[in-house]
Amino acid sequence: MPVRVVDTATPSSQSSPGQDTNAGHPSPPRCVTWNRLPRSALAGTRGISFAMVWDCFAGTQNVSSLQKDEAWKVNVRIHGCDLEQGYLCGTMEALNVPLADTPVSSDLLGGEIVDAKITHFSLASGKHREVPEDDIRHWSKFPHLHLFWWVSINISVIFMRSPFQKLELKCTNERSSGFTFSSYELQ
C-alpha cells in the first residue's frame, strides 16, 4: 500500500498534497470502520462513539531546515479517531533515525484534528495568531481535506493542530479482492 506521511513543523512551511511521494510496504487490505453516535443499548448501558481504525501505513518523514535535510522511513498505525471530540491517536515508528539510540524509535501519535468543517479545532483558536478569515482561506487550499472520512480508497489528509502535524495518506488496494472491517465499541 503506497502511503505518504509528511510531517511539517509549522503551518506556514507545509507542502501541498502531491509532493514527496514515497512508496511504503504493502499492508493487508484492512480499512476504515465507521463512526457511530452514542446510543443506549440497555438500561444502564451507555455506548460512546466508536473509533475508526486503520491498519499500518508506511512512508517517509522529511525534515528540512537550513542546516540539513533528513529523511527516514516511518510506519504509522492509526488506532483511533474520535470524530465527536476531534481526537486522533495512533503510534508512529521511525526507522533508522540519525543519532537515535535504537534502530526503531516508537512514539505515541495523538492530537486534535483540524477538520474540513472546522467543527472541533481550527487554527483560529488564537494560539497561532490567525484570524478566522485567514484560517478558512488557508485550509481551503487543501481540496482533499474533506476526504478525511474516505481514507480507505482516496488520498486523504489529516491535519492535526496540537501538535501540528499533517498526515497525508494514500492507500491503494491493488492486490486484494476487497476491504474488510473491524470495529470496537466502548462502554
Partner 1 sequence: MPATASGGARPEEAAVTPSASASVASCMGTRPEELTARLAATGPAPGAGCGGSGAGVGAGGAEAEHERVRALREIKNQIIGNRTKKLLYLRLGAVPAVVAALAEAGASPAALVQAAAAVGSFACGVDDGARAVLAAGAVGHLTRLLTHPDEKVVDASARALRMIYQSRLAPKFDVNNGKNMDFVLSLLNSENENVTELAATIISHSCENSSEQLSLCSAGVPQKLVSLFGGSMNLRDACLDSVTAVIRNNREAASRFASTDRGKGFHSVLGLIHDRSPRTRLLACLCLIALGDASPCHFQDKQIKTKLITVLLELVEEPGDVGDEAPLALTTLIKDSLELQKQALTTNAVEKLSNHLLANSLETRRAVTILLALSELCSKLEESRSQLMSVEVSTLILEALKHDWADIRIAACSCLKNISRSPKVLSGGRLSCDTVIGPLIQLLYDSSTSVQVAALGAICNIAVNLTPRKSLLLHSGVVSQLVHLSKSMDPTLRLKSVWALRNLMFLLCPKDKDFIIKELTLSTLSSLICDSEHFVQEQTLALVHNLVDGYVDSANYVIGEDGMVTDAISRQLNNASSLGVCIQGMFVLANIAAGNESNKEAVMNILLPHRADNIKPSFVVNFLQSKDKQLRVATLWCLLNLIYPKCEASSGRIVRLQNAGVILQVKSMINDPCLDCKLRVRMVLEHCVDNADDCFM
Contact residues for partner 1, defined by CB under 8 A: 28-30, 34, 36, 41-42, 44-45, 48, 51, 53, 55, 79-80, 82, 85, 87, 89-91, 108, 110, 149-150, 153, 176-187
Nearer to partner 1, 87 or 130 (CB): 87
Nearest to 57 by CA among 32, 38, 85, 35: 32
Nearer to partner 1, 68 or 175 (CB): 175
Type of residue found at 159: F
Alpha helices in the chain (DSSP H): 132-139
Nearer to partner 1, 9 or 108 (CB): 108
Instruction: Please report, for the chain, how many H helices and E strands are present, in that order.
Output: 1, 6
Nearer to partner 1, 34 or 163 (CB): 34
Smallest gap from Cβ 172 to partner 1, in A, equals 12
CA distance 153 to 173: 8
Smallest gap from Cβ 99 to partner 1, in A, equals 25
Smallest gap from Cβ 36 to partner 1, in A, equals 7
Residue 148 Rama label (left phi>0; alpha psi -120 to 50; beta): alpha
Smallest gap from Cβ 6 to partner 1, in A, equals 22
Smallest gap from Cβ 71 to partner 1, in A, equals 26
Nearer to partner 1, 28 or 163 (CB): 28
The verdict on whether omega for the bond into residue 103 sits within 30 degrees of 0, i.e. cis, is no
CA distance 173 to 92: 22
CB 31 within 8 A of CB 171: yes
